[in-house]
Amino acid sequence: MLELISEHACFGGTQRFYRHDSREIGLPMRFSVFIPDGAADAQTRMPALFYLAGLTCNEETFMIKAGAQRAAAQAGLILIAPDTSPRGAGVDGEADSWDFGVGAGFYLDATREPWSRHYRMYSYIHELRELVVRELPVDGARIGIFGHSMGGHGALTMALKRPDVFRSVSAFAPIAAPSKCPWGQKAFGGYLGDDTAAWAQYDASLLMAGLKTPFPAGILIDQGLGDKFLAEQLYPEAFEEACRSAAQPLELRRHALYDHGYYFISTFMEDHIRFHARNLTTV
């Protein structure tokens, strides 16, 4: 059951914040939804776009900072933004680091104790997808996904593992090869253990290398060249090479000066909304 926390008029539609008890997480979880005008009830189904946020963020970050609602209202897309991790799991040390634990669930299902009980963000996103299709005016056959940084990693891996569910995918400055970078190695080691074979199922570059054109309409990625995390953490060139080997169309746009934050994201947000609209607003 959904508990409505708050509701706000926004660009002719409605911005809402919800809480619900999660089966997969085993704790209450929060998420936000923007519903454009024209979807007043569950009888009027609209395409939807999931956004997965990055490290330290929550369900409010995207809706407040990205400037996405105007373009989504014009395109007729519902926006859905979950939190980035469980809250209140009570795992010892879960709030000690900004890049592991609270706010850093990495969109995977942990297998290592004590994280495996609650840190199940991969399965949670699918649970949330089923929930919004059931309770909100979301067309379950027309869902896309995108994200930023850790969330860009999550969007790419979730889409590559389930292209039957997500019809379009894009990302801003994704952690594109987490098995190779400090953020990914810390998260994978902590949540999944030392078996690097288990890491591969959550590494977009490794997943793509084993596929053949999973998204014929293309994948869009924007990357700022002024991003201080680019060289050490992001590895877009690894994903680019994997796409070449998989015959996957990829538009990887590199932008001088832009950094890793929401000034960058908001600059190119409308392009991403339009990209997904082209894929999701057709039958």
Positions annotated as catalytic residues are 149, 227, 260
Q: In whole angstroms, what is the distance from residue 230 CA to residue 169 CA?
A: 21
The percent of the chain in helix, strand and coil, each rounded to the nearest 5, is 35, 25, 40
Of residues 225, 220, 283, the one with CA closest to residue 248: 220
Antiparallel, parallel or unpaired: β 138-148 and 13-21: unpaired
Strand runs labelled E in the chain: 3-10, 13-21, 28-35, 46-52, 78-82, 138-148, 168-172, 219-224, 250-255
Of the candidates 132, 125, 190, which has an alpha carbon nearest to the alpha carbon of residue 155?
A: 125
Hey, how many other C-beta atoms are within 10 angstroms of the C-beta on 95? 11
Q: Which residues contact 253 (CB under 8 A, 6 or more apart)?
A: 220, 221, 222, 223, 268
**In angstroms, rounded to a whole number, what is the distance separating the alpha carbons of residues 176 and 74?**
30
Q: φ and ψ at 253, to 5 degrees?
A: -100, 125
Quote the CA–CA distance of 17 and 234 in Å, as a whole number: 31
